[in-house]
């Protein structure tokens, strides 16, 4: 071990500095982080001006953060890092519904509603019936599953982004399944929207030649005793941004049919079954 | 190329999203950054709770930043990343004086003083004569070299950290060499001090079983027409923290003698020659 820092032994020098009695998981994670960060700088021969730019970028990312804005999460999302962590931690058997990113717009405590209720409270958008069943890997209905749903409104904003313009709990609700495992509710056919792009992450996307849009989707958090928590979306088939989601959230298994209805109370119907994995 | 995100193809999926007509250097740097960040998460199987912790850490790092405090630079410094970037960009021929980190405490515009002047203005500390020559790789004196020097005071603080307690330009000065390439000035024998450790980086160091101290050093910025800029320190031989500098700034070639003086105007003398590399 070199005592003093050298370019060649940079990783070993830094990691050898850790104390002997620290949390072993912390030691493992930090040693790997240092190794990969140093490998990055060496691989690209990072210049001093680029380091300056990086420090300034992180500083500006910190400056725009507030109670309502989390730019570091946006950064993680747009680099595919959030989806990767989600994927690593939610490997599921074939047939089980896949996870995707939770996103920043879930709110605890949405009202529990009777099956079939309408969650769209602002009268905007094209009404859509969402329906299906919550089942186990054998297709057996799961009773008592909580189906917590949320989406943007027809203008592309969640209620919490427009507290003065939208009714509280607009396009949100919780539905609990009975014996048949079935769920149904009336929302709107979701619309695509940009992630907040007036900060450093938006500038990064512009420099990378990327747009800030997410394809239209309905959020689901499905929980049931004895089963793994499912955090997912269903995506509107045919959406322009399906193959270029700014946060890489789309999986092909999560693209749902949205069928136009001729005679009915809603303009659209979107069937989708959720298959939960036992814990 | 997979259209949708998968754990296996995460890097390729994210990097394929970049536009075709973007800055090629940006494309190269970002592709490498994404590759190494994803490799880190995969290698350690980063958990969702650890990701949450990381987001919170970066957010707190951003919150403590101000005009006088740059916690992201401290983070880079304490992970050896600043020294690595410095090393990559300042590979020098054998015999040339090595670089080390610039640090956050340099101030432009320090007074240019006659050779031999005293830069310690607060009367604290043990007077030390710093002297030597600025030469080229052949040992030939360099005329007109600007030797810009700065150090903490005897209490371990730079003047800019204590604007109400220390005289302006305390322990700072600029000396310009003549025909003989010689420089000399009277400062104090520097003392070791901790980097600011009341924020997230200080907490990180504590969790890693590391102390926040830097070994005692004098800062130098030496410039001369036709030569590479030299950013370096000289370190006090024998300092307790030489092999555990919190920011990894020590190189063995930069450890200088500090010789006690029996009869003289100063208690110490520290000889050191600076060898510049032609551009």
> For A252-264, how does the pLDDT look when each residue is reduced to its tens digit (9 = 90+)?
999 999 999 988 8
**Residue A90 sits in a domain of what CATH number?**
2.60.130.10
Examine the domain organization and report whether A236 and A157 are in the same domain: yes
- Asked whether residue A2 carries a pLDDT value surpassing 70, the answer given is no
- Interface A–B counts its CB contacts (< 8 A) at 212
Q: Which residues of A touch B18 (CB under 8 A)?
A: 208-210
Examine the domain organization and report whether A157 and A225 are in the same domain: yes
Q: What mean pLDDT comes out for the span A59-78?
A: 94
DSSP H or E run through B44? helix B24-44
Residue B76 lies in a domain: no
Contact B6 A244 (CB under 8 A): no
Question: Which of A17, A41, A48 is nearest residue B244 as measured by Cβ atoms?
Answer: A17
Q: pLDDT digits over A199-241, tens only?
A: 999 999 999 999 999 999 999 999 999 999 999 999 999 899 9
pLDDT tier, B263 (very low <50, low <70, confident <90, very high otherwise): confident
Residue B173 lies in a domain: yes
Q: Which residues of A touch B237 (CB under 8 A)?
A: none
Query: How many other C-beta atoms lie within 10 A of the C-beta of residue B138?
Result: 7
Question: Which of B10, B41, B72 is nearest residue A59 as measured by Cβ atoms?
Answer: B72
Report the gap between the CA of B87 and the closest CA in chain A (Å). 6
Residue A135 lies in a domain: yes
Q: pLDDT digits over B220-260, tens only?
A: 999 999 999 999 999 999 899 999 999 999 999 999 999 99
pLDDT tier, B68 (very low <50, low <70, confident <90, very high otherwise): confident
The 8 Å CB, 24+ separation contacts for B261-264 are B261/B129, B264/B129
Q: pLDDT digits over B177-198, tens only?
A: 999 999 999 999 999 999 999 9
What per-residue confidence (pLDDT) applies to B103? 87
Examine the domain organization and report whether A28 and A146 are in the same domain: no
Structural domain including B250 reads 81-275
- Asked whether residue A1 carries a pLDDT value surpassing 80, the answer given is no
Q: What mean pLDDT comes out for the span B74-83?
A: 97
Q: pLDDT digits over A6-61, tens only?
A: 999 999 999 999 999 999 999 999 999 999 999 999 999 999 999 999 999 999 99
What per-residue confidence (pLDDT) applies to B206? 98
Examine the domain organization and report whether A39 and A157 are in the same domain: no
What domain count does chain B have?
A: 2
Report the gap between the CA of A170 and the closest CA in chain B (Å). 28
What per-residue confidence (pLDDT) applies to B104? 84
Residue A52 lies in a domain: no
Q: Which residues of A touch B249 (CB under 8 A)?
A: 5
Residue A131 lies in a domain: yes
Examine the domain organization and report whether A114 and A29 are in the same domain: no
Contact A209 B20 (CB under 8 A): yes
Contact A82 B51 (CB under 8 A): yes
Residue ranges with strand state E in chain B: 127-135, 146-150, 172-176, 182-188, 193-194, 213-214, 217-223, 230-236, 255-256, 259-260, 268-271, 274-275
Contact A80 B249 (CB under 8 A): no
Q: Which residue of B has its CA nearest to A46?
A: B85
Examine the domain organization and report whether B239 and B102 are in the same domain: yes
Examine the domain organization and report whether A147 and A228 are in the same domain: yes
Q: Which residue of B has its CA nearest to A15?
A: B79
CB neighbour burial string for A80-113, b if at least 16 within 10 angstroms, e if fewer: bbbbbbbbbebeeeeebbbbbbbbbeeeeebeeb
Examine the domain organization and report whether B132 and B40 are in the same domain: no
- CA B256, CA B275: separation in Å to the nearest integer? 14
Report the gap between the CA of B212 and the closest CA in chain A (Å). 12
Counting DSSP H helices and E strands in chain B, the numbers are 6, 12
Examine the domain organization and report whether B88 and B33 are in the same domain: no
pTM of the model: 0.93
What the block records as the tokens of A265 is 């109370």
């Amino acid at each position: 071990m070199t005592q003093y820092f050298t370019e060649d032994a940079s990783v070993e020098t830094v990691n050898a500095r850790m104390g002997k009695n620290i949390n072993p998981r912390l030691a493992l994670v930090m040693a790997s982080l240092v190794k990969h960060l140093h490998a990055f700088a060496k691989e690209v021969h990072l210049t001093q001006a680029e380091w300056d730019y990086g420090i300034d970028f992180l500083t500006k990312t910190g400056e725009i953060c507030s109670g309502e804005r989390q730019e570091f999460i946006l950064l993680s999302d747009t680099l595919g890092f959030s989806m990767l962590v989600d994927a690593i931690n939610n490997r599921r058997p074939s047939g089980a519904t896949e996870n995707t990113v939770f996103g920043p717009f879930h709110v605890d405590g949405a009202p529990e509603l009777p099956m079939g209720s309408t969650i769209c409270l602002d009268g905007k958008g094209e009404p859509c019936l969402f329906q299906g069943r919550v089942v186990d890997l054998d297709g057996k209905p799961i009773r008592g599953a909580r189906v917590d749903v949320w989406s943007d409104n027809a203008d592309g904003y969640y209620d919490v982004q427009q507290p003065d313009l939208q009714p509280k709990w607009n396009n949100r609700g919780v539905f609990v399944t009975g014996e048949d495992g079935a769920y149904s509710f009336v929302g709107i056919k979701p619309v695509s929207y940009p992630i907040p792009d007036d900060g450093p992450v938006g500038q990064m996307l512009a420099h990378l030649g990327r747009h800030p849009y997410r394809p239209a989707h309905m959020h689901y958090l499905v929980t049931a005793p004895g089963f793994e928590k499912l955090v997912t979306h269903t995506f509107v088939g045919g959406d322009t941004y399906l193959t270029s989601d700014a946060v890489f959230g789309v999986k092909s298994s999560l693209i749902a049919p949205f069928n136009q209805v001729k005679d009915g109370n809603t303009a659209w119907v979107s069937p989708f079954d959720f298959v939960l994995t036992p814990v």
